[in-house]
Amino acid sequence: MRAGGALFWAVLPALAGCLESHQVECGDGRICPAGLVCSDPNQRCVTQEQIDACSGQPELAACEVGSGSGECHAGACLFAVCGDGVVEGSETCDGDNLGEGTDCIDLGYYDSQPLTCTERCQLDEKVCTGGRCGDGVINGPELCDGEVPDIQCVHLGYDVGALPSCTSRCAPDTSLCHRIGIDRVAVPIDLPLQALTGSGPDDVYGIARAINDIEGPLFHHDGTAWRRVLEGANSVWVVGQDDVYATANRGGLYTLQHFDGDTWSEIEGIAPAAGQQVRASGPEDIDLLGGVGAPSMHWDGSEWSRIGGLPDGIVVDLVADPVGVIHAIFATTGGNALYRFEGGTWRPFDPGLERLAAVWSDGPDDVWVGGHDDLAHWDGQSWTAMLDIFPIEREVTALSGTGPDDVYALDTETISLEGGTLEIGHLFEYDGAGWTSLIDLPGVHDAWAGSREAVYLAGNAGASFRYHGSLWRPDIPLQLDSGFVPAGFVTRGDDIFAVVNFFAFQTTGHIFHWDDSQARWLPPEQISNRELGAIFGTDDALYAVGGAGLYHLQSGDWVQEDVSSAPEEPVLTAGWSDGPDAVFAVGASLVHDVDNAGWVETSLPRVCDGEGIMHAVWGSSSTDVFAVGDCGVILHFDGDSWREMASPSLETLLAVWGSGPDDVYAVGSRGTALHYDGSAWVSMPRLPLATELHGVWGTGGELFAAGGQGFLFHFDGESWSVLQPEAIVDAVVGLSGAAHDITIMAQFGPDATFLRLRRTVSWAAP
Q: What is the DSSP letter of 166?
A: B
pLDDT digits (tens, 9 = 90+) for 680-695: 999 999 898 888 999 9
Work out the angle at residue 625's Cα, subtended by the Cα atoms of residues 623 and 627, and round it to the nearest 5 degrees: 155
Compute the average pLDDT of residues 169-188: 94
For residue 305, pLDDT beyond 50: yes
pLDDT digits (tens, 9 = 90+) for 36-47: 899 988 888 889
Q: What is the DSSP letter of 569?
A: P
Instruction: Provide the whole-model pTM.
Output: 0.83
582/569 Cα distance (integer angstroms): 20
For residue 1, pLDDT beyond 50: no
- Choose the weakest-confidence range: 243-257, 428-442, 650-664: 428-442
pLDDT digits (tens, 9 = 90+) for 52-85: 999 999 988 989 988 778 889 899 998 877 887 8
Compute the average pLDDT of residues 377-383: 95
Compute the average pLDDT of residues 226-240: 96
Burial (CB count <10 Å: 0-12, 13-18, 19+), residue 374: buried
For residue 18, pLDDT beyond 50: no
Work out the angle at residue 54's Cα, subtended by the Cα atoms of residues 49 and 60, and round it to the nearest 5 degrees: 130
C-alpha distance from residue 246 to each of 256, 443, 600 (Å): 6, 26, 73
**Domain residue ranges of the chain, discontinuous segments joined by +:** 195-308, 485-759
- Choose the weakest-confidence range: 232-236, 333-337, 366-370: 333-337
Do the beta carbons of residue 149 and residue 170 sit within 8 Å? no
For residue 13, pLDDT beyond 60: no
Q: Give the pLDDT score at 388.
A: 55
Work out the angle at residue 297's Cα, subtended by the Cα atoms of residues 398 and 355, and round it to the nearest 5 degrees: 30
Q: What is the DSSP letter of 4?
A: H
- Name the CATH superfamily housing domain 485-759: YVTN repeat-like/Quinoprotein amine dehydrogenase (2.130.10.10)
What topology is assigned to 195-308 in CATH?
Neuraminidase (2.120.10)
